[in-house]
Each structure stands twice: as structure tokens, then as C-alpha cells.
């Protein structure tokens, strides 16, 4: 029983980490691509990212422009 619980907790931790990376993907891309509005994208993601539409807008915005 203890082994099953341990395996379940490890799976939940890995799943949570993967979902967190997916949620912050637009912000990660914006910072890696040196987007001029990377901080605004992060704020949008933190405030409206949970809606799905906000996340999609942040993703498109993060890929749309690059700092020159």
C-alpha cells in the first residue's frame, strides 16, 4: 500500500511540474526570444492565463514580435 501511495505522489509531482511548464510556456518563450513586451506577457499570463483564451493570446503575442 505504501509503494502505491509513493508512486502516486511521484506521478502527481511530475504531472504538476509538466502542467506548470505548459502554463508558463508563453512567458518562457517571450523571455528566450527577448520579446520587447515580455513582462506584459507574463502579467497577462498570471492574470488571465487560466481562462484559456488569455493563455492563447499570450502564446500568440509571445511569438509575434522579437526585439531587434
What is the predicted pLDDT for the residue at 29?
96
**What is the span of the domain harbouring residue 6?**
2-64
The number of folded domains in the chain is 1
Rounded to the nearest angstrom, the gap between the alpha carbon of residue 28 and the centroid of all alpha carbons in its chain is 7
Residue 68: which pLDDT band, with cuts at 50, 70 and 90? low
SS (H, E, C) the chain: CHHHHHHHHHHHHHHHHHHHHHHCHHHHHHHHCCCCCHHHHHHHHHHHHHHCHHHHHHHHHHHHCCCC
**Each residue's pLDDT tens digit, 13-61:** 889 999 999 999 999 999 999 999 999 999 999 999 999 999 999 999 9
Amino acid at each position: 500500500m505504501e509503494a502505491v501511495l509513493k508512486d502516486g505522489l511521484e506521478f502527481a509531482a511530475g504531472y504538476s511540474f509538466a502542467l506548470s511548464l505548459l502554463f508558463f510556456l508563453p512567458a518562457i518563450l517571450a523571455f528566450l526570444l527577448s520579446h520587447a513586451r515580455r513582462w506584459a506577457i507574463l502579467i497577462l499570463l498570471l492574470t488571465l492565463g487560466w481562462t484559456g483564451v488569455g493563455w492563447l493570446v499570450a502564446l500568440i503575442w509571445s511569438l509575434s514580435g522579437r526585439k531587434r
